[in-house]
Every structure is written in C-alpha cells, then in structure tokens.
A and B are shown apart, each in its own frame.
Chain A
Amino acid sequence: MVDCIRGTSPVSEPKDFRASFDSDSQRTPVRVAFVTRRTTPHVTKAGDDRVMTNPDALLRVAVAVMALLIVLVVVSLLFDAPLEGLANPLQTPNPAKAPWYFLGLQELLHYFPPVVAGVVIPSLVVLALVVIPYFNVNVEAEGFWNRNGERKSILVWVAVAALSAFLVWFSVYAVLVPTLVSGGALIVTAAAPPQDKGFGGWLRSKPLPFWIMTWFLVVAITLTVIGTCFRGAGWSWVWPWGEL
C-alpha cells in the first residue's frame, strides 16, 4: 500500500489521496489505496467465514484418519492378503492377470493390438487428464442442452453413432455398452424439462465436460470389472459365480 502512495507524505499534511503506478504495473495487478482525510483503512466485514486450522481442521482430519485406520484394521483382521505358490517361470497360470487397476487395459488388449491398448490409449488418457485445466474445460458451465438444442442433438447422434460403429467394427462390446448407456442418457435428458428438480433436471444442468468424463468413468469401471470378474482361461468370458 505504501508503494502505491509513494511520493506523498502520508503522515503530515493530509491530502485526500494520490495514486501512482509502479514500473511493473503491466504485470502486477494495480492496487490503489484510497486514504481519505481522518479515516483509516479498516476492515468493514464483521463476520469471518473462516475458522482456525488448529483445532477445527486438525480435529476433523484426525477423525477421518482414525476412521480409515479402523476400517483397514478390521478388514486386515478378517481377510488375508492373497499368497499363492512360489513364483515359477515354467508354469503359466491361465489367465495371467495384471493388478486390478490395469485390468481395464488388459481387457482392451483383448480387442486392440498391444501398441494401441498398452501404449497409445493410456498415454492419451494421461495427456488428456493433464491438459484438462488448460483448455477452458468448465464442468460448472450451463447445461449442454440449454442452447442450440436442435443443432447439438444432430451432433450428438452423429458422434454416438460414429463411435458405436467404430466399436462394433472392432467388436469392442465392453466399451460399446457403456458408450450407448451414457450417450443414450445424454440424448434422453434433452427431453427432461429444464425446471425438473429431480435426477433428470440435475443431469440436464450438466455441460459437455461432465458427460465426457462420466463416459470415461463408466467405460473404465466396466472394463475393470469385466477384466477382474468376467475373464477366465484364454481370456474367455466366464461368470464370477461359475456355470449355472
């Protein structure tokens, strides 16, 4: 504040104010102090919506940590971590599965060549995640159908149809089904009345980034669940509860 009123003598000879600019005012936000006669700059806001980190936040953090610890301890007492026989390079289990969080990728490996499923797709996913905040992606923008509904509806139909055709071409039904579900939900919500207070109205208030991320989430969960529970010898389809 002193910087901004540099050149005046703030103590003696009260003047209303004089504002001056720093040489780097192009880069730093300009702050102008208005110090009028016989008044002091003071905070007018009475209520503060902030609380002390100690103890308010620390206490809640401690409770959260202990809750997690209790849950994990109980689970650890009830369920043993898996341990199979000694590693044997000569005896390949069928199927050989990666850790569960990579089983979505391993499921994709079933449909696409390794360079696509194992390298291109994960790289693109990571790249897409990193650039999200730099591309003006706004998940709190207005609902997708709020403007230009007619034109967008054609675009959505074309996009979902093209993606589905591609997935059918490669027989990637594990991605096709969640794509049809989320794409279908997007198309159906166009019909929901804007004033709807329920789930339909909530969905209708969501912009395109919400729909794309949700599609990605649904696809990722579907692939992971299929790879974990529904794949047996030779990566063939099995039911987790066995043959009926």
Chain B
Amino acid sequence: MNSLYSRLRGTAVWRSVFRSGTGDTNLHRSLTVQQNIFLHLASVKIRRRALEFGVTWYLGTLSMASFVILVVTGVLLMLYYHPSVPQAYADMKDLQFVVSAGVFLRNLHRWAAHAMVVLVFAHMFKVFYRGAYRPPREFNWVVGVMLLLLTLFLSYTGYLLPWDQLAFWAITVGSNIISAVPAMGAKIRFLMLGGHTVNANALLRFYVLHCVILPLIAAVFLAVHFWRIRKDGGLYTGDKPRE
C-alpha cells in the first residue's frame, strides 16, 4: 500500500500537480506545505505546544470544519432548492419524501449550522480567556469578531429558506428589531426584505446572501484570519520564548 502510494507520487502527472516531489525528508514535508496554495497559509513548522489539546481545544479547526461541511451539504441542497414561494416549502417536502438521503442532507446542514454558531462562540471565549487576543494578534481578533458576525448572518439568512412557519416568523421577529434603528430603521428593513413584510422578495434576497454573498465574504475573511495566525507569530501558547 505504501509502495503503491510512493509510486503514484512518482508519476509524471502527480509531480506536475504537486511539485514537492517524492520522499519523506523534512525538506519534502516542508515543500508540501509551502508549495500548496491552501496549506501555505500555515507555516511549515509549528510549536509542539500549540498542538496540545488544552491550548486551543481545536475550536478554530472545528469551526472551519463545520464551515466546510456546510459548504458541501449546502451546495448539494442547492441542487434541489428553488428560492420561490411556495416552491421552497415543497422542496423541503421533496427532500423529505422524494430525494434519496434528502432528510439526512438537510439534517446534516442544519445541525452543522448550529454547531458552527456554538463552536465560533466557544472559539472566541477560549481565545479571550487564554489572552491570545493581545498584541501582536489584536487585528486577528477583530477579523475573528467579523467572522462571528458573518456566522450569525449566514445562519440567520439560512433560517428563512425552508419557508415554513418557524422560518417565516423567526425572520419576521428579527427584522422587526431592525426597524427600531433610529431614523433609518424602516429603510434598512425594506432593503433587507425587498418589501415591507417577509415575502417572496425577502426569500430571494436571503437566498442570494446565504448562498453567494456571505460565503464569499466569509471565505476572504477566513483566508486573512489563517494567514494572520502565521504572520502574528503562530498560535499563542502562553509560553515565554526560550533563550
């Protein structure tokens, strides 16, 4: 199995994709990180202590993992979903009774969404209590707060999409709070809903926000967030630098 894998890594096609080459030296291991557009956001080496469970509880990793699960299940759900009234609700019923594993797909998306909100909050509190927000990591903390807000907006916009009573009235309650903003509350609410009440326009707007605009913004912020971990000196371990 191992030799098969090394032979695969030696093929011309593989080497054209991954330039790091074959071999298990630390140089090759460095190159696999450094030469990969996604992995290169991380440094080649990491403090041993930063990998201990107690330091981070892996909450940032798990937040990102739930985001990935949500993107995958979300794209699959988009194949069965029409953002229109009342077809959106009929699509929920189709997921339930017609689509193979449709219920499972929707369940996974729903629970992963709740998990992400919880994990992102937990991540924030963990970072605070460990003191990891302090300079030089102060800007990354601000990026993190933005990501928390994006997480809430993503979850909130997704909440409307099933177009059932739960969705409709939750968004009605939430959007009524917006109209309490002094002077321009009603205007903001109209912009958000595309009307004076939660209607088909609101569904379409929330759909576009949920599936396109907010995930793209979140992806950009996530890239900055990870890159800044590295630029700000790696994960905070609380250890004094050794002499």
> Residues on A close to B: CB < 8 A?
45, 48-58, 60-61, 64-65, 68-69, 72-73, 75-77, 79-89, 91-93, 96-102, 105-106, 109, 113-115, 117-119, 126, 129-130, 132-134, 137-140, 210, 213, 217
Contact = CB atoms under 8 A, between A and B. Distances in A.
Nearest to A114: B180
A53 B138 contact: no
Given A87-B163, A105-B177, A129-B145, A68 B115 contact: yes
The 8 closest A-B pairs by CB, nearest first: A133-B138, A114-B180, A87-B168, A118-B177, A76-B107, A81-B110, A96-B169, A84-B165
A89 B86 CA distance: 13
Contacts of A68: 62, 65-66, 69, 115
Interface string B166-178: 1111101110111
B80 interface: no
B162 A106 contact: no
B171 to A, nearest CB: 8
Nearest to A109: B177
Given A76-B107, A138-B131, A54 B65 contact: no
A172 to B, nearest CB: 18
A89 B131 contact: no
Contacts of A56: 46, 48, 51
A98 B174 contact: yes
Interface of B is mostly: helix
A100 B111 CA distance: 13
A76 B110 CA distance: 9
16 contacts: A52-B45, A53-B33, A53-B43, A55-B29, A57-B46, A80-B103, A80-B107, A81-B110, A87-B163, A87-B167, A97-B170, A109-B177, A117-B177, A118-B180, A129-B145, A133-B141
B61 A54 contact: no
Contacts of B135: 133
A135 B165 CA distance: 45
B39 interface: yes
A57 B42 contact: yes
Contact of B242 (A45, A65, A87, A105): A45
Nearest to A73: B108
A101 B165 contact: no
A85 B108 CA distance: 21
A88 B198 CA distance: 11
B61 A119 contact: no
Contacts of A45: 242
